[in-house]
Amino acid sequence: MKIHREGYLIIAIGLTILGLIQLGNYFLYTYLDWLWLYLLLSAGAVVMAYLIIQFFRVPNIPCKYDINDVMCPADGKIVVIEEVEETEYFHDKRIQISIFMSPMNVHANFNPISGIVKYVKYHKGLFLVAWHPKSSTDNERSTFVIEHENGQSVLFRQIAGAVARRICYYVQPEQEVKTGDEFGFIKFGSRIDVFLPIGSEINVKIEDVVKGRITKLAELK
């Protein structure tokens, strides 16, 4: 396990603030001699430090897949599986799979398939709750399309939520990418949509808890 680079500054600031609070807590204890208050505030500081650090954790997990597998791009829970009209890039019917990421999930994002990046687009937008039906089209988001070597393409989209206020990504058009390699990060609770070709074999169902780089979402046919 490692700490994601997007968390270095936030962790440093958070731990500094908690350290100052704990210093004040110590002086308060020496003045009032209230052991219960000192222990309570100390425990709170430890919990907050843990929550800040764990949010930016990235487990060192190998990605095992077959050539046509579509792997899960993020940790979370499956909240949508439906046939929809994709209106940004394909302009045709696709199977949408949506993954809701809570603040307790790993928030690094991974390529669902290998291939060539054909489309990268950042959209400014709103900050509706991530499970809102219009969050996929109205929220701040980034959209990516990877063309697989078999000629099929998969679109996936990072979506900001009511708490998530920064989307980070590291891929560019015409870049060759590999399944399971990191392509981005979303700071605080959010969602990822994956749009698959009609006819893909779906391997998950609604309410499934999924893991990035581990869970097989589907197989391209």
Helix (H, G, I), strand (E, B) or coil at 17: helix
CATH code at position 207: 2.70.70.10
What pLDDT sits at residue 169? 93
Statement: residue 72 has pLDDT above 80: yes
Catalytic site residue from 114, 135, 136, 190 = 190
User: pLDDT category, 54, cuts 50, 70, 90?
Assistant: confident
**Structural domain containing residue 38:** 2-58
Token reading at 137? 């089209």
Q: Is 190 a catalytic residue?
A: yes
Q: Are residues 167 and 210 in the same domain?
A: yes
Angle, to 10 degrees, between the axis of helix 35-55 and the axis of helix 8-32?
A: 180
Q: Minimal CA–CA distance to 158: which of 201, 107, 208, 202?
A: 107
Share of the chain above pLDDT 90, in %: 60
Helix (H, G, I), strand (E, B) or coil at 55: helix
Statement: residue 103 has pLDDT above 90: no
Look at the chain and report how many structural domains it folds into.
Answer: 2
